[in-house]
Amino acid sequence: MRRYDYVMIKNIKKTIVLMLIVSMGLMTSCAKAYTKSIVIGIMSDIGAVPFLIADEKGFFEDRGLDVEIVVFKSAIDRDSALQTGNLDAAMADMLSIVFYTEANLPVKMVAKTAGDYVMVTSPQMSLSQFNQSESPSIGISSNTVIEFATEMIAKADGNEQHVESVVIPQMPVRLEMLRSGELDAATLPEPLASSAVLSGGTVVGSTEDIGLEPGILVFTDALIDDAESTVAIFEAYNDAAQWLNENDEATIYDMLTSSLGFSELLKDQGVLPIYNAIEAPNAETFDAVSEWMFDKGVSKHKYNYDALTDINLIPQDDF
């Protein structure tokens, strides 16, 4: 073989190898560039804030995700969006996952979310008056995490035999009736509970005080099957949680007011908690929820935690 032919063949081989390397690089790059838009439904409470920050600060985009955040003021509207396939993920609670399961919705709980449900007295009633009352009226929403939280807080406080539950589904109405003294107390999520305290109410107790964590994040089975996207969402959430812990909430409070409806009066009150990295839903809380729902006839069965969760993709590294 002539030297010219040998060099030519050698150069062709190098070119082919180079093309293969470039091609493999492009394939790897494409595998990390998620093209599906993921829609996440959030509620107007403190558990929603890391999702908003992940979107606002570009943490989802940094992880190669195309995410749309949809804010819901009503759990009914959120559930309807899940049922019609318009959400890939949503903030919810442990009662909801039982209802979803019984409705055969293809979703599982994948993590817990930050949040607290707080029983607060009216400005017209002190804590000692509330505790001495034979039958204090407490504003709730029926067959919801609010009713569960109310009964658990009352039980821990020793008042479960004396509580008179008043069903008021709309939380803003419940808050106004509490402020006006039409209710002795009400159970509210944060930051509405902090708003009630700012108006002169007193905290009776909360789910956080008694070690219950009913707030969860649910994913559709289709999203869970997309392991890369699932992990990327968790990582972006962790980026946002860390950012929130390191920055003054006053710098973002105007966004929380406009996006989530947080009261402007709470701007300097420090309503946001220290956020943890993504964690598995609390199994003890789920067992308490499942038993409570079954005992009240709200659900058909007592459900197994493992059957309703998928926590295999939660990152093991904390921040």
- Looking at the domain 34-115+213-308, which fold is it? D-Maltodextrin-Binding Protein; domain 2 (3.40.190)
Q: What are phi and psi of 206, to 5 degrees?
A: -150, 165
The two three-digit tokens of residue 181, written as one number: 């003294």
Instruction: For 32-58, write each residue's pLDDT tens digit.
Output: 444 568 999 999 999 999 999 999 999
Instruction: Give the mean pLDDT of 187-207.
Output: 96
Domain spans of the chain, in order of start: 34-115+213-308, 117-206
Q: Which CATH superfamily is domain 117-206 in?
A: Periplasmic binding protein-like II (3.40.190.10)
Cβ atoms of 112 and 276 within 8 Å: the answer is no
117-206 matches 34-115+213-308 in CATH topology = yes
Count of C-beta atoms within a 10 Å radius of residue 11: 10
Per-residue model confidence as pLDDT tens digits over 105-159: 999 999 999 999 999 999 999 999 998 988 899 999 999 999 999 999 998 977 6
Residues 285-290: what's their mean pLDDT? 98
Cα–Cα distance for residue pair 169/150, rounded to 1 Å: 14
Q: Which residue has the tokens 């969402």?
A: 233
